[in-house]
Amino acid sequence: MMVKIAAIQMCSGVDPEKNALRMDALVREAHAGGAVYIQTPEMTGALQRDRKGLAEILRPEETDLIVARAKGLSAELGVYLHVGSTAIALEDGKTANRGFLFGPDGELVCRYDKIHMFDVDLDNGESWRESAVYRPGSEARVAHLPFGALGFAICYDVRFPQLFRAEAMAGAEIVSLPAAFTRQTGEAHWEVLVRARAIENGVFLIAAAQAGLHEDGRETYGNSMIVDPWGRILARAPSVGEAVIMADIDIAETIAARAKIPNLKNARDFELTEVRL
C-alpha cells in the first residue's frame, strides 16, 4: 500500500502562538502535496531553555495550544497529524516532552513521552540537563495504522537501539523520530544514527527536525530525513530554515528488506563472560 508521508522542519521560537501559526501553514502545505501522515519536530510548541520563560508558557495537555490546533487540523484536513513533541505541564510540577498522534477524525490515536533524557556535557562548554526539567517516559508505543505499524522515539532516543529493536519486534514497520539535534552533535552523528536505526530494524525512519538559530540562543542541525528500510535517504531538508519534505512509502519494502536480511529473526540470546588479565 503506497502512501505519501511528510516531515516538517521548523525553527520554533519561544512563543507558542507564533509556532502554532507556522505549524498550521506547513501542515497545510504538506496536505496540499498529498501527504496522509504529517510529522512535526520535537518541541514544536516552543524551544525555550530559560526555565522561568518555559514555566510561563507551559499548559496541561487539556488546554495546550499546539495540541488543540493539531487536533482541529487533523480533523479538518483528514490526515494523520503527528506533533513530534511539545512541552506539557504535569500535575507533579514536572514537564513531559510529549508527542501526540491524531487521526483523520481529530481523535487522539497515541501519545508518547520521550524516554531518554539529554543529560550531556559537550565540547566548547555546551552542557544540557534535560532531566532537571522533564520527567522521562517509561513506555514504548506502537500504533497500528491503516498503512503500517508506527513506533515512536524522540531525538536522544536515537542513541538507544534497544528501543527501536523492541518496537520492531512488536511489529513496527515505521518509526518516527522527531528531533531538535544540536548542531554540534548533528554534524557528528545525525545521519549515521538515523540510517543505522532504519537498517538494523528494517523500518522506514521519519525524522522531522528543528533547524537553525533559535530565539533562546540554541542552534539546531536540521537535515530532516525520510529513510527507507535499506538505509536509503528518500528525502532530506537543508540544515537551516523551514521545509516540508515528502516521500511515497510502501510497507512491502519493509517486508522485502527483512526477508533479505532477517536479523530480527536471526537474533539469539547469549551469555557475556568477562576475561580480566
Going residue by residue through the chain (277 aa), what tens digit of pLDDT does each one get?
899 999 999 999 999 999 999 999 999 999 999 999 999 999 999 998 888 898 899 999 999 999 999 999 999 999 999 999 999 999 888 899 999 999 999 999 999 999 998 877 778 777 768 878 899 999 999 999 999 999 999 999 999 999 999 999 999 999 999 999 999 999 999 999 999 999 999 999 999 999 999 998 899 999 999 999 999 999 999 999 999 999 999 999 999 999 999 999 999 999 999 999 9
Question: Exposed, middle or buried: residue 156 (CB in 10 Å: 0-12, 13-18, 19+)?
Answer: buried
- 155 as an active site residue: the answer is yes
Q: Would you tell me the crossing angle of helices 161-169 and 191-201 to the nearest 10 degrees?
A: 30
Structural domain boundaries of the chain? 2-266
pTM of this structure: 0.95
Whether the CB-CB separation of 9 and 55 falls below 8 Å is answered with: no
Alpha-carbon distance 114 to 137, whole Å?
Answer: 5
- 271 as an active site residue: the answer is no
State the pLDDT at residue 49: 81
State the pLDDT at residue 228: 98
Question: Distances from the Cα of 256 to the Cαs of 12, 166, 198, 202, 227, in angstroms?
Answer: 38, 20, 14, 9, 15
State the pLDDT at residue 121: 79
Phi-psi region of 250 (alpha: psi -120 to 50; beta: other; left: phi over 0): beta
244 membership: H or E segment, kind and range: strand 243-250
C-alpha cell at 27: 501542515
Alpha-carbon distance 144 to 153, whole Å?
Answer: 15
Q: Which of 225, 231, 227 is nearest to 260 (CA)?
A: 231
Q: Which of 71, 114, 167, 242 is catalytic?
A: 114
Alpha-carbon distance 187 to 223, whole Å?
Answer: 10
Q: Which of 4, 11, 29, 42 is catalytic?
A: 42
Whether the CB-CB separation of 19 and 46 falls below 8 Å is answered with: yes
- 110 as an active site residue: the answer is no
Q: Which of 59, 92, 94, 73 is nearest to 26 (CA)?
A: 73
Superfamily of domain 2-266, CATH level 4: Carbon-nitrogen hydrolase (3.60.110.10)
Amino acid at 68: A
Alpha-carbon distance 224 to 151, whole Å?
Answer: 18
State the pLDDT at residue 51: 84
